[in-house]
Amino acid sequence: MPAPSLTLARVFTRDDGRDRVAVPFWNAILSAAGAIAIGFAASFVATIVLIVAIVLATGRTPSVNPGHPLVAASELMFYLTGGAFAWWRLRATGRQPLRKLHAPELRAILIGVAALFLVRVGTVIQLTATNQTKHVQSGFEHFDVVTKQPTITAIGIALAVVAMVVVGPIAEEIVFRGLLFGALAPRLGVLASALITALLFGAAHGDPVLFPTLAALGFIAALAYAATGNLTVSIALHMLNNALGAAVLVASSLHHHR
């Protein structure tokens, strides 16, 4: 199957958005909501089970700081269960959004990386201008992977990285781009749908300071998906973006305990 054209006149039209990413509206909206609900429920149950198991095994209450194996495992459960449900529902629409990367998709990734670099520069300027250069994304303020046992520390790092860099981006792209963006694009067009889902994506992370950065990531990912019809492209961009953040968090945690 030949790779779709990336002509701008085609990328930003209503018809092309429908052709590349369209999924049934209410099916996709309800599926996205169901995926989030399932993820939260599974994460809650996993957290309770793990806390009880750790208390019974060690007699101590485990840390609930981000980066600790308990929290990382719960986060991983959220993404695995919610993402699996979302993927099942997206596949049920008949779409095949994950495909091998061809030259046009690779070019789209390179363009996306360049755009994300500019977003990062803008973020640095924003944080410097507002005297918030030490700001950490909401939910990661107390991120700490270091424990008294090196093996547990290694497990925590592995789980946190897998959740943040691999499973998280895949699940979020399926929900926000595959389902929500795919539901809105046929009705509102590519640009308006990309903007709306980007705002939802930014708001879902609960960080007013980094909201512009997160929304920009969502907008770029949506345009990349619309341009190629290949969710692999937006997933790759999301993974690359998160890999940088994860590296900084883990390195800072390890450095703090030296």
Q: What pLDDT sits at residue 8? A: 47
Helix spans in 205-230 (H)? 211-228
Q: What pLDDT sits at residue 147? A: 81
> For 177-233, how does the pLDDT look when each residue is reduced to its tens digit (9 = 90+)?
999 999 999 999 899 999 999 999 999 999 999 999 999 999 999 999 999 999 999
Quote the CA–CA distance of 20 and 83 in Å, as a whole number: 21
What is the pLDDT of the chain when averaged over all its residues?
Answer: 91
Please check the confidence at residue 126 and state whether its pLDDT lies above 90.
yes
Please check the confidence at residue 17 and state whether its pLDDT lies above 70.
no
To which H or E segment does residue 28 belong?
Answer: helix 25-58
> For 43-100, how does the pLDDT look when each residue is reduced to its tens digit (9 = 90+)?
999 999 999 999 998 888 888 888 889 999 999 999 999 999 999 999 999 988 899 9
Please check the confidence at residue 2 and state whether its pLDDT lies above 90.
no
What value does the mean pLDDT take over residues 29-38?
98
Quote the CA–CA distance of 214 and 203 in Å, as a whole number: 8
Kindly report whether the global pTM for this prediction surpasses the value 0.85. Answer: yes
> For 112-124, how does the pLDDT look when each residue is reduced to its tens digit (9 = 90+)?
999 999 999 999 9
Please check the confidence at residue 144 and state whether its pLDDT lies above 90.
no
Compare 14 and 162 and report the one with higher pLDDT: 162
Neighbouring residues of 145: CB distance < 8 A, sequence distance ≥ 6: 67, 68, 153, 156, 157, 160, 250, 253, 254
30-48 burial by CB neighbour count: b if 16+ within 10 A, else e? ebbebbbebbeebbeebbe
Q: What pLDDT sits at residue 4? A: 47
